[in-house]
Amino acid sequence: MTQSPSVSLRPDSDEYSFSSVINRQVATFLERLSGDISAPRISVLSRAAPARAPWRPALVAVFAALVLAGCQAETAPLAKMPLAKIERPVQVQRVAFENGAAAREFVGVVRARYETDLGFRVSGKITERLVNAGDRVRVGDVIARLDPQDLRLQVESAEAELVAATSSLAQAAADLERYTTLKARGYAPVAEFDRKKTANDEAEGRVSRARRALDIARNQLAYADLKADADGVITATRAEPGQVVAVGQAVAQLAHRGEKEAMVALPETWLGDVRQAAAKVRLWSDGDRVYQARLRELSPQADAATRTYAARFTIPDADDAVAYGMTATVTLSRPGEDAVARLPLSAVLNRGKGAAVFVVDDGGALALRNVTVSAFNGDVALVSSGVSNGERIVTLGVQKLEPGVRVRAIEATN
């Protein structure tokens, strides 16, 4: 007897049920056994046919009856099992409608509205830098210092020039006073008197110029200390002690305390709607918190490399949790767009009657529902109608499902 083939249990088909397979195998066995019994055998030593054993047919009949009875007893419960009781696990996602324009997000950076590069107003060698990046400063705090030796010498030179100019003025004033008396008495020529008066006026101008030069020298000496001109945070340092800097060269960058903004790059398609769009800002460090924002500045010219337009959105209610340099996501919503539900592309199928999805009802049965897809965005489909908020939609393996089949829903996790 040959080995019987492996049996696969398929309750949805009578042809492949367990009892049917056993019945066929038993029938095959009986046919072969009957053939072996009834077929004449020729002995090698004698050509005479042997006599049949009378007990073999009875034994075969009893054996077949026992096998059939056992198979029917074991397979009866499985054959009577209803198909609706078998539940297939499926992954589902609940429908949530939201504004259709809320899908467009732009990644940017938190910046201060006012940022200034601090530099010395005189040239020189840096002897000390008192701040580092991230330090908070107030108005008047010293950021860095220059070597003041040359500047002090300039002050002393200006002071000496002023002393000399003052002495010249005193001499010229005395000469003018004497010639004024002599002229009144008629002893001094008019031309000589005019020369004395001109010398006195020139001495007065020299004194005034020396005073201005002294003021400038003193100011330059004061400029040797680089001071903060506003409250804020040092966001960068660009010079080190021992470095010789020129006039106006940036030594540190100061972000002024006050309004904070999110700076993003917008494509050309948003230039017409960005001014009317509603803007919200989320931080990557705290995605659950939403800040309202408004557009303050939009660049009139595209960047030469990226072909995008720089936009700055002011965050009026920004607190200390919004730090400079943080990554922020700006969400823009176009006005007047209908609410849509975001469903994975794997949840939508088309069997010749338009886009549809499988909905799992409260009883666990599948229902094929036609839907209206307004747009496809990346790996999601924006569904505008056909489903309701809170309904469970099958998201995977929809091509192998049929309406009416009972399933076990498993919520998708992010």
Give the confidence band of 31 by pLDDT, cuts at 50, 70, 90.
low
pLDDT of residue 45: 36
pLDDT of residue 4: 44
CA–CA separation, 235 and 116 (whole Å)? 10
Strand, coil or helix: 360: strand
Strand, coil or helix: 145: strand
**For strand 407-411 and strand 88-94, is the pairing parallel, antiparallel, or unpaired?**
parallel
User: For residue 125, which of 219, 224, 245 has the smallest C-alpha distance?
Assistant: 245
CA–CA separation, 39 and 24 (whole Å)? 22
pLDDT of residue 58: 53
Strand, coil or helix: 163: helix
106: enclosing H helix or E strand:
strand 104-112
Number of H helices, E strands in the chain: 4, 24
CB neighbours of 24 closer than 8 A, spacing ≥ 6?
none
pLDDT of residue 126: 96
Report which of residues 391 and 374 the model is more confident about: 391
Q: Read off the tokens for 194.
A: 């005019």
Q: Where are the domains of the chain?
A: 18-81, 89-97+338-411, 103-113+258-333, 119-227
CA–CA separation, 249 and 121 (whole Å)? 9
Tens-digit pLDDT profile for residues 223-261: 999 999 999 999 999 999 999 999 999 999 999 998 999
Q: How many other C-beta atoms lie within 10 A of the C-beta of residue 239?
A: 20
Q: Read off the tokens for 63.
A: 């054996």
Q: Read off the tokens for 25.
A: 């195998």
E-strand spans in 148-231? Answer: 225-227
CA angle 340, 341, 345 (to 5 degrees): 120
**CATH class belonging to 103-113+258-333:** mainly beta
pLDDT of residue 30: 58
Tens-digit pLDDT profile for residues 261-278: 999 999 998 888 888 888
Residue 5 half-sphere exposure, CB side, CA atoms within 13 Å? 8
pLDDT of residue 41: 44
CATH fold of the domain at 89-97+338-411: 2.40.420
Report which of residues 114 and 25 the model is more confident about: 114
Residues 256, 232 contacting (CB under 8 angstroms):
yes
Residues 60, 33 contacting (CB under 8 angstroms):
yes
